[in-house]
């Protein structure tokens, strides 16, 4: 039987599916509109969740909101409404969140903080438009040079407001519905992750594996807890809650429930500047390849992640080289520093 949350492709069909997931980075993947069978149209899917879009894609872009991830910014507002979340290392050994909103645009999200160069690789796969309170001048130049649209409060973007219960810089909220009125929809390069095709979508028929081959697929190791260490000052604790994973030391008013928790180990460089306290600002390279562990309702699966360029889809392979697909749903990605980071699964 295939895992409910992680599907492993059998070798017979792997090549064609991997090509579908990892087509040329320079050629945007168009929304599927070709007919299937006798006049039936392909089911369109969300590039951020892999789920079916029976009414077609939203008429808004993917917004990538930078959110404070310390007690100073608690409670995090509308984090549970995001489609996908990436936790990234920032200066001082702390972390910050990049929350991707596409299927739903809350009128209050926060608390919003500044952007980092790491956000280029986070936003680019789905032409995400970054929403931030501001950013260092060098970071803003680098992000915009990469072709990423930025909505910054420091530059007068609409939709920002103050939370009267908080103080600056931890009190900034964004109304994504209002911001959307000023945004322009851009072509989305492709899916964020290599999703398992939903029924009626492109590649769905080819992904069906013979039952005789399913038993040979790599199996997840049972897991119910996970501890993700970014630095001596920041560790995110997780527990399995039914079919989802939730943080046990998070700061959200209502916690994000991840159908799949992805722990990716990636190289970290120096962004080239320091914060006001003199701490060097890190830049995590969200491209290349490295170790990744996929945690689902069925347990933990060791894989290798690959992302050819900033705007490429993230793909996974099991230890034996078998391509691994992620079942559609909400995903949380822990972008952990290679070398200094660690994962403990129990």
Q: Domain limits of the chain? A: 6-27+193-345, 63-180
pTM for this predicted structure: 0.86
Q: Could you please report the per-residue DSSP string of 104-171?
A: ---S-EE-B----TTHHHHHGGGT-EEEES---HHHHHHHHHTT--EEEGGGT-TTEEE-TTS-TTS-
Give 220's DSSP letter: P
- In this predicted structure, the answer to whether residue 1 has a pLDDT above a threshold of 50 is no
Residue 155, both tokens: 């530059």
- Give tens-digit pLDDT for 104-134: 999 999 999 999 999 999 999 999 999 999 9
- In this predicted structure, the answer to whether residue 235 has a pLDDT above a threshold of 80 is yes
**pLDDT of res. 284:** 96
> How do strand 299-307 and strand 315-318 relate by DSSP bridges?
antiparallel
Model confidence band, residue 273 (pLDDT cutoffs 50, 70, 90): confident
- In this predicted structure, the answer to whether residue 14 has a pLDDT above a threshold of 60 is no
Is there a contact between 91 and 274 (Cβ–Cβ < 8 Å)? yes
The per-residue pLDDT of the chain, averaged, comes to 87
- In this predicted structure, the answer to whether residue 255 has a pLDDT above a threshold of 70 is yes
Q: What percent of the chain has pLDDT over 90?
A: 75
For the domain with range 63-180, which CATH number is right: 3.40.190.290, 3.40.50.620, 2.40.50.140, 3.50.90.10? 3.50.90.10
- Tally DSSP H helices, then E strands, for the chain: 5, 23
Beta carbons within 10 angstroms of residue 346's beta carbon? 10
């Amino acid at each position: 039987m295939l895992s409910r949350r992680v599907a492993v492709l059998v070798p017979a069909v792997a090549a064609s599916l991997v090509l579908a997931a990892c087509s040329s980075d320079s050629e945007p993947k168009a929304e599927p509109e070709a007919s299937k069978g006798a006049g039936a149209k392909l089911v369109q899917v969300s590039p951020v969740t892999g789920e079916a879009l029976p009414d077609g894609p939203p008429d808004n872009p993917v917004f990538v909101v930078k959110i404070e991830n310390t007690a100073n910014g608690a409670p995090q507002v509308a984090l549970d409404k995001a489609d996908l979340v990436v936790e990234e290392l920032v200066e001082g050994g702390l972390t910050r969140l990049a929350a991707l909103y596409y299927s739903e645009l809350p009128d209050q999200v926060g608390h919003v903080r500044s952007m980092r160069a790491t956000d280029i690789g986070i936003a680019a796969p789905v032409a995400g438009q970054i929403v931030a309170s501001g950013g260092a001048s060098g970071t803003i130049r680098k992000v915009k040079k990469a072709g990423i649209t930025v909505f910054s409060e420091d530059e007068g973007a609409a939709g920002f407001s103050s939370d009267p219960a908080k103080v600056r810089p931890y009190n900034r909220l964004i109304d994504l519905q209002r911001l959307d009125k000023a945004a322009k929809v851009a072509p989305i390069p492709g899916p964020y992750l290599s999703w398992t095709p939903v029924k009626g979508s492109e590649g769905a028929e080819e992904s069906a594996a013979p039952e005789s081959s399913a038993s040979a697929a790599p199996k997840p190791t049972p897991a119910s807890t996970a501890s993700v260490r970014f630095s001596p000052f920041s560790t995110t604790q997780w527990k399995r809650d039914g079919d989802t994973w939730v943080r046990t030391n998070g700061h959200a008013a209502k916690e994000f429930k991840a159908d799949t928790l992805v722990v990716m180990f990636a190289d970290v460089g120096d962004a080239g500047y320091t914060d006001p306290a003199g701490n060097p600002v890190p830049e995590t390279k969200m491209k290349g390849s490295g170790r990744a562990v996929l945690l689902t309702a069925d347990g933990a699966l060791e894989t290798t992640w690959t992302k050819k360029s900033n705007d490429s889809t993230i793909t996974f392979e099991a230890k034996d080289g078998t391509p691994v697909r992620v079942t559609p749903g909400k995903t949380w990605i822990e972008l952990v520093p290679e070398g200094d980071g660690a994962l403990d699964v129990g």
